[in-house]
Copies of this chain bind each other. A is one copy, B any other.
Amino acid sequence: MRGFYIVVDLGGTNLRVAALAEEGILELRRWPSIAKVEAQEGLCLLKERVGELKEEGARRGWRPMGVAIGVPGLIDGEGLLVHSPHLRAYEGVNFLEELRELGMPLLLENDANLYALGEGFRGAAKGKSHYCCLTLGTGVGGGVVIGGRLLKGAQGVASEVGHMVIDEDGVQCYCGSRGCLEAYASGSAILRMAVEEGLEVSSAKEVSELATAGDERAQRVFQEMGRYLGVGLANLVNLFNPEMIVLGGKVAEAWPLFAPRALEEMASRAFSYAAKGVQVRRAHLGDEAALWGGLSLLLGLEDGE
């Protein structure tokens, strides 16, 4: 009887539940996020979705080996969701306890951490032991791998790279601080800067389309975003001395518009020895990164890690 693994991506927009084996994604199902419903209802839905995939596997003669759940927020070592702007209704919920009745080994991890693990397992950082991964989306998520292991910190909430202050008196960040990397290098930041430039746009994607079409103001926005991102990258280089920094998320699709400026800024600021030792690369796996990350975590569990 062959084994398979279930990975859940508990996003703010979609709920994705995948069945994976080492050779690939066997089945991927997508539903609306549980973000908008009450916690008890959402947990019930979640158990149902996972249960369906478990049964589907059983019908095909597979044995479920475990479930990994990626959550956009701070999770403590016991499985408690401490903080999550995207899943407010679930703050204070202990997912490990609530989902115990699934009757399978269960892992909970920050979604950006899963993304980083996935890129290391099958993506841009394959074979690297020391790397940082940034997801440039609506916000900026971060995962840091040191010596092949996730940086978790004392309580499990480390590597919040998006909330590293790079301009102490800068733009107000939703987190309560000012001048965080997220306030300059996220999709929301690009939209804000574009509006400040007088562009009539309603998404970062539109700004990127305008820039690609030659609009100078839109291009300036991405140059500015790239410069700030470069400051953040320099900090990561000086702090972590990584072999690689992987940039993923929707915003990274605008790579040519910001990456050259970001690399230039990074090189001008970081210690040159460390800056020469780092590769900055686009993520390879897109939406699938977190799913692969979940699988790698579950496989690690089997190895007794």
Which residues of A line the B interface, CB within 8 A? 74, 76, 82-83, 129-130, 144, 146-147, 149, 151-161, 163-170, 175-179, 228, 231, 234-235, 238-243, 268-274, 277-278
Contacts and interface: CB of A to CB of B under 8 A. Distances in A.
A45 B242 CA distance: 36
A158 B157 CA distance: 20
Contact of A163 (B151, B167, B271): B271
A95 to B, nearest CB: 16
A241 B157 contact: yes
A211 to B, nearest CB: 22
B269 A154 contact: no
Contacts of A165: 166, 231, 234-235, 269
A183 to B, nearest CB: 12
Contacts of A268: 176-177
Given A157-B274, A168-B228, A152 B239 contact: no
Contacts of A170: 168
A239 B161 contact: yes
Nearest to A129: B154
Given A76-B273, A165-B166, A269-B165, A158 B82 contact: no
Contacts of A82: 273
Contact of A168 (B146, B149, B166): B166
Contacts of A83: 271-273
A226 B269 CA distance: 24
Contacts of A164: 164, 235, 238-239
Contacts of A159: 239, 241
A271 B167 contact: no
A74 B154 contact: no
A153 B238 CA distance: 10
Given A146-B146, A234-B165, A235-B164, A273 B241 contact: no
A268 B159 CA distance: 18
A175 B166 CA distance: 17
A153 B130 contact: yes
A128 to B, nearest CB: 8
A305 to B, nearest CB: 13
A234 B176 CA distance: 12
Contacts of A130: 153-154
Nearest to A277: B155
Contacts of A270: 177
Nearest to A230: B168
Given A163-B271, A164-B235, A178-B269, 18 more contacts: A74-B271, A82-B273, A83-B271, A83-B273, A146-B153, A151-B240, A153-B274, A154-B241, A157-B274, A158-B274, A160-B239, A163-B238, A164-B238, A165-B166, A166-B168, A167-B168, A175-B271, A177-B234
